[in-house]
Structure 1
């Protein structure tokens, strides 16, 4: 099977968690061939650096950010008719972006009705794609003055969102530039049906519902290739979090958020299956219009990195006086969303109740692969160190002589903590104090190490923990301190919770579980949504026996075939067969699609239409 993996600022160039997940997936499925189509941020590294597995047949890249390579600017060569069609399609697209979104019927999701896919937005999007196939001047047209004027008119209409009515020229120029970048995949040469294009694939697997999914939409539209979308984080949520700090006005942020939301709704509407890395992301997908009948939860898998079960001291009086039994450990990248300020205040309360308690803050690099020397992170780390010295002035002063500071900031990979496993060995209770969290990777690592945990109720924390740890409200140092004291004083309870946490991590969060789930999904999708293409021989003519005899079996026989089982993750999911799969022939639950169509099947059975 040939699978096109569509990535955005990730595999095979980025070293963040998304790139590592793609690498584990590709290496875990050596029976399939993969073509990588990567949208990069800036100049990519040479292909093969890092080396890709041998089942990767081809790697094709295109810049998503940075100056566009304008092959041909909008000019006389484009033609008056092409320019008029561009104005129509782009005007329809930005009108849909500026207008209030339509809502799905009530009951479409647990969090209320989400936005429905906009037919006008979809028609305009595919119209622009058709223009890009005819002429290479689409990037230049999107950055032209005419495009900015069309966007301004859409913002000034009475039916536009109130937030965009006050858009200024700077906002319009910023939005036009961002739209060109986000629509750049429409102008790529990936959409041919030759050996190097998306049309030759059996399945497209997009790693986001944003720009990376646009090539998959076009492959579905022009060649009938089924689309699978996987997200370990919500793109719209990340947009809200990032753009709130960006130097953009409120109208520009509202326009870009509307564009991201409508793009995601169209991707979810056209995808055969949408998978989420956790229930938190799944709720965001449903709010953006994903159909619950075509959604599954597949937890991402992690390697344990040597995080074996760390033995606890014996459950006697000495257990509570050992160094590891009275030490709290926090592992992660220091940044404001981790709320180490609340953790330090909570530890001050713990220290008053248990004078021998310690806190180890093990600093790692950022999980997303960004630069570790981010100014915001550096300033926040310095603030936390100053707060620790202020909260424990006597201990900090004596630590200059005897080295007994109760709060230690140590980098993972240094002399004190050479490996990640050493951080969890030094502590008896792992703590997570975040106020904003997606999927808590550090929490999963502590579960692999069989550590009892105290966490704040944010993101997917409760889903990951289950009943194997204590959960407290965020920004509540008193509750955090009480939970930590409860575990520090009870070594037997720590041991029981740690063993249960490791068992849960080995059951749900391993690489083998993740790869097995996608192996079943690939086979299920291709069986229900086969790509109809004519096999050509060496001379260019039809290939004899290019299609198997089973492809022409009457529908009555196909309807009696047993459905293919999907080995999904061990979470609450909705089977694919519960509703028609987009891209294939609609079929009832528990039956295979009718390959010859309902009317032809009646003819073969001797029913309606027989002579």
Structure 2
């Protein structure tokens, strides 16, 4: 089976989202072939390069989402005829009208039903894709004055979003630029017969821009689409928009666009695989049909923590441990205040905060604030043999001499604490479960689903409840042992790499068996070749190749200068090419 793996800001780059998960999936499904289509998020990410790819990756094609020069692509008006300009104004104007419609998120809007709005959005999106194929890209058009005018007209139309009605020209220019970045996959030459048009299945590793190539492969060539979301792209957009210097009208327009795009992705996907029930609820609220949803938990390397989990030593019975990325969403402030209450009940208790090195000024400032608060709450307390410096709270980095590896961090404490106010899938909790540690967590994201009945869960932003749960476990070694053993058994059953790979192995076969791509073998003149596809061509295996190699689908062409390609290992020896084995 030939899989088109669609990524944004991750695999195959050295840094980025879902890199490890994608690499484990590709390596675990060695009987399939993978073509990787990757969108990068920054110049730094591209400069860091790729990870080492396994032999089943045949091809990697990349394109940036972060920036292009103003002269890249085709400037609107310079290479467009009158008919093309009119088509663009019609399609983009329709897209803008749906985005601005005040009923886009409700059952019945000002311009008709929710389904009618979805149909209009999809029709406009695919119309722009077809135009991009004819013109070699839409980078210039989507940033043009015509696009800004179309947005302005949609904002001023009856029934438009209230927040969008006050949008000014600077707001519209900002929105047009961000829409062009999100829609940049429309301008790529990835949809021909020898690219995504030739795969058996597109697997988008997130929603949003990463899934757009899958939408177009289905539109042009009938390729089925599988969408996996371990972090909801729409939720991430909501959080990121609040941090950007955008006006309220601009935020409203972008939020509406990303909501419409998410709904279209879920509508066209054959199967959607959320990583947990929390993500599943988001998808259902955004229009995903319940029958399409299959929860597949992320797979993690259990063997890495096997030694810690097998030890009879449960770690220091007086030590609470926090592990993660230090940022405001983790609410270490509440944790520190909770630990102050713990110290009143258990004077020997210690708190070790172990995190990755702070990245960026915001993370560094938050870490400094937490250290200052710890110094204020525990001024120069000496704890004898239990002292960590002069303070019962220590801040340590993974990779430092005290904590050379992540598993060493979990081996140091008997109770692992999670204090987050925002959380998706709590990776640190699963790691603690693999290590057989008892846990105290806040009830956010997928925490309850992950923990089951193997740990204590308290409300977020409640230091007193967090402290009481920690004290209860510190005082009861037997309970810690029972909870830790149950947690490890649950993690080994649900959250391993092996279960993740087996789940996708079955889903791939199910999709291809129910939604096969019907391709007609043709000769050099484009004429059909009777019996050109032998039966064995449909049997999974790297040796199976359809005779003729022709595909019925067709799509846009004309690669912009900023699209890149790299070919991997050849699928067949030279002597067997075109032989129809």
TM-score between the two structures when normalised by the length of structure 2: 0.87
Find out whether 1:52 has 2:53 as its counterpart: yes
What's the counterpart of residue 97 of structure 1? Answer: 99
Distance 2:375 2:466 in 1: 20
Equivalent of residue 414 in structure 2, options 420, 423, 428: 428
Equivalences, count: 531
* Greater relative contact order structure (CA < 8 Å, 6+ sep): 2
Find out whether 1:486 has 2:488 as its counterpart: no
Q: Is the 8 A contact 1:228 1:274 kept in 2?
A: yes
Structure 1 residues 544 and 458, CA gap change in structure 2 (3 angstroms): same
Q: Is the 8 A contact 1:100 1:160 kept in 2?
A: yes
Distance 2:420 2:148 in 1: 41
What's the counterpart of residue 253 of structure 1? Answer: 251
What's the counterpart of residue 177 of structure 2? Answer: 177
What's the counterpart of residue 573 of structure 1? Answer: none
What's the counterpart of residue 324 of structure 2? Answer: 332
Q: In the TM superposition, what are the counterparts of 1:209-358 in structure 2 within 5 Å? A: 209-304=207-302, 306-308=304-306, 309-310=308-309, 324-358=316-350
Q: Is the 8 A contact 1:104 1:115 kept in 2?
A: no
Deviation at 1:71, TM superposition (A): 2.9
Find out whether 1:380 has 2:370 as its counterpart: no
What's the counterpart of residue 445 of structure 1? Answer: 431
| 3-state SS in 1 of match to 2:203 | strand
Structure 1 residues 416 and 477, CA gap change in structure 2 (3 angstroms): same
What's the counterpart of residue 125 of structure 1? Answer: 125
| 3-state SS in 2 of match to 1:244 | helix
Distance 1:407 1:296 in 2: 42
What's the counterpart of residue 591 of structure 1? Answer: none
Structure 1 residues 516 and 415, CA gap change in structure 2 (3 angstroms): same
RMSD: 2.6
Equivalent of residue 526 in structure 1, options 493, 512, 532: 512
Structure 1 residues 125 and 3, CA gap change in structure 2 (3 angstroms): same
**What 5-or-longer segments of structure 1 have no aligned partner?**
107-112, 366-371, 552-611
Structure 1 residues 169 and 540, CA gap change in structure 2 (3 angstroms): closer
| 3-state SS in 1 of match to 2:18 | helix
Distance 1:432 1:114 in 2: 40
Find out whether 1:474 has 2:460 as its counterpart: yes
| 3-state SS in 1 of match to 2:244 | coil
Q: Is the 8 A contact 1:89 1:128 kept in 2?
A: yes
Distance 1:417 1:223 in 2: 52
| 3-state SS in 1 of match to 2:234 | helix
Distance 1:34 1:167 in 2: 44
Equivalent of residue 513 in structure 1, options 473, 479, 499: 499
CA deviation string 1:75-128 (max 9, x = no partner): 25311111111111111000000002356779xxxxxx9988611111111111
Q: Is the 8 A contact 2:380 2:391 kept in 1?
A: no
Q: Is the 8 A contact 2:388 2:394 kept in 1?
A: no
Structure 1 residues 501 and 78, CA gap change in structure 2 (3 angstroms): same
What's the counterpart of residue 571 of structure 2? Answer: none
Distance 1:214 1:30 in 2: 26
Q: Is the 8 A contact 1:398 1:404 kept in 2?
A: no
Distance 2:166 2:388 in 1: 62
| 3-state SS in 1 of match to 2:273 | strand
Structure 1 residues 339 and 396, CA gap change in structure 2 (3 angstroms): farther
TM-score between the two structures when normalised by the length of structure 1: 0.83
| 3-state SS in 2 of match to 1:346 | helix
**What 5-or-longer segments of structure 2 have no aligned partner?**
538-581
